[in-house]
Amino acid sequence: MTVDRVIQTGLNNLGKPYLFNALPFQNTVFDCSSFIQYIFYVNGITLPRNSRQQFRVGKKVGLNNIQKGDLLFFTTIKRTKRKGIEKIGHIAIYLGNNKLLHTFRQGKKVKITQLSGYWKKRLVGAKRIF
């Protein structure tokens, strides 16, 4: 299993709709953590269901050392004042070149966005699974 296969699985799901609390291990609708869980699961790696649980796996990576395939963890407006792992409310996979592959918020779909502005300000951690 390679980083490229996991990313390609994610790219194959571009445009799929967002649904908060989407069921795991299916690819009809996703929330941020079910999307990450699915693209790894299809490629032989089982991750926990939510972003805070997913933060507990893998090797910690410094925010200045992120690489393609790393999982990036973000706080959200509702979680900004919380402490530790409870601060985490969103996850994405890093594509390299300051690009994220993820899904977020009702009405949105799986998409590629820039790691800048809104997302850069809320980045709180990174993990390497590979």
Q: Are 127 and 55 in contact (CB under 8 A)?
A: yes
Catalytic residues: 32, 90, 102
